[in-house]
Amino acid sequence: MHIELEQLLDLPEVEITSVEIEAQRMTIHCRSCLGEALCPSCLKASKEVRKTYHRRIRDLSITGRAVYLLMEVRQFHCFDCDRYFSERFSFVDLHRSYTKRYEDYIYFRCQGATIRQVSLQEDLLWDVVNAIFLRKAKKDLSFAAWGCSPVRWLGIDELSLRKGQSSYACVVVDLERACVIDVLPQRTADYLINYFQSKGEAFLRGVEIFSMDMWKGFVKVAQKLMPQALIVVDRFHLIGQLHQALDSYRRSLRRRHPKAEALKGIKWLLLKHKEALSEAELERLEAAFACFPPLEQCYLLKETLRHGFDHFEDRGEAEQFLDHWIAQAETLKNRYLNRFLNTLDRWKDKILNYFEGRITNGLVEGINHAIRQIMRRAYGYLNFQHFRLRILTECR
């Protein structure tokens, strides 16, 4: 089937006068096929052409060749307002060197890739690709109205910006819609209170569940601004604390028994779900447990608590289970486990709230993992607002 180049180009406002085809590029000479242009001041039509000039515009590639439109642009004179103006086209913004569809393509290419990668692949300057991404991202997000929609299940978690420097951002997520609401440059309670107050009373009253990790600042925010919300401490953060206690005990055994072969290389086996272990891995653990029975008791307690969160549906039954589990753990008199029990005692009520709504911060943790991938891909960000735009465009 024969297709005309003008059909392939699909720009009804212009007509093609000639085409130059080279190995890596295609230059399409074209001009307007409109008889008149509207004055941008008085919006009256004018046919008075005073001069013409050429404008070079990058368009989508064809057959692997970069396409450039060499436009013959006319300058008109409006007699009513005595103004000179150049004709405008719907497919390209004023003072831009790229068609709108090519900018959309560049913006799409930037999703999941670095600015440098796209600039090299498209043979564009880094600054050009970055400017297109930022402009399109801001425009895209302005239409999305982030944070304005009612949110019933609100998840919040910290995000470490620089390892070892106590520099934290904050990720706010709509757990029901599975999308990022916002990324905040600070994690202090006062900053969060001011931020959520700016969302308005309707937003605050609409929150039914506030899911978080074990940080007192988040509790302060929720209790002050969203007293009606059910505050839920994420179960996975709790199990993570128990993993730390179990691993601390393992390391203490390694220090006391440096020559014990059974303790070597079992860290991840202890933290892994028992049903996910292979037969060989189970044998390695059993060998360690035969030498150190208290380690097996701690491991079995870890597995029992994990299964309890999956098994119980009723808060009352879950509370009875948790009290029994605490009593068992206390009999071991393990100082590492006792630290975990102190944490559990402080947050017990909010942990049990999980059994009322069964909402976790697992989605937020997944988003945080995606954000860390974004950070690694770009080797970090110096400008937080650019970092925020990148997250909001890729994690929504």
Q: What pLDDT was estimated at residue 250? A: 95
Length of the chain: 396
Residue 43 contacts by C-beta under 8 Å, 6 or more apart in sequence?
A: none
Give the CATH architecture of domain 153-234+360-394: 2-Layer Sandwich (3.30)
C-beta contacts of 193-197 below 8 A and 24+ residues apart: 193/220, 193/221, 193/224, 193/225, 196/221, 196/225, 196/226, 197/225
| CA–CA dist 370, 367 (Å, integer) | 5
Q: What pLDDT was estimated at residue 165? A: 52
Q: What pLDDT was estimated at residue 164? A: 53
Residues of the chain where predicted confidence (pLDDT) is lower than 50: 1, 146-147
Q: What pLDDT was estimated at residue 378? A: 73
* pLDDT tens-digit map of 194-232: 999 999 999 999 999 999 999 999 999 999 999 999 999
Query: What are the C-alpha distances in Å from 273 to residues 139, 312, 375?
Result: 45, 18, 29
Q: By the 8 A CB rule, do 155 and 364 touch?
A: yes
* pLDDT tens-digit map of 352-364: 999 987 888 888 8
Average model confidence (pLDDT) for the chain? 89
First to last CA, the chain: 41
Both tokens assigned to 165: 């420097």
Angle (nearest 5°) at CA 76 between 74 and 81: 160
Q: What pLDDT was estimated at residue 1? A: 43
Specify the DSSP class assigned to residue 261.
Answer: G
Domain ranges of the chain: 1-94, 98-144, 153-234+360-394, 235-357
145: left (phi over 0), alpha (psi -120 to 50) or beta: left
Cα torsion 91, 96, 100, 103 to 10°: value is 160
Q: What pLDDT was estimated at residue 108? A: 93
* pLDDT tens-digit map of 266-297: 999 999 999 999 999 999 999 999 999 999 99
Q: Is pTM beyond 0.95 here? A: no
Taking the CA atoms of 306, 310, 315 and 317 in sequence, report the sign of the dihedral they define.
Answer: negative
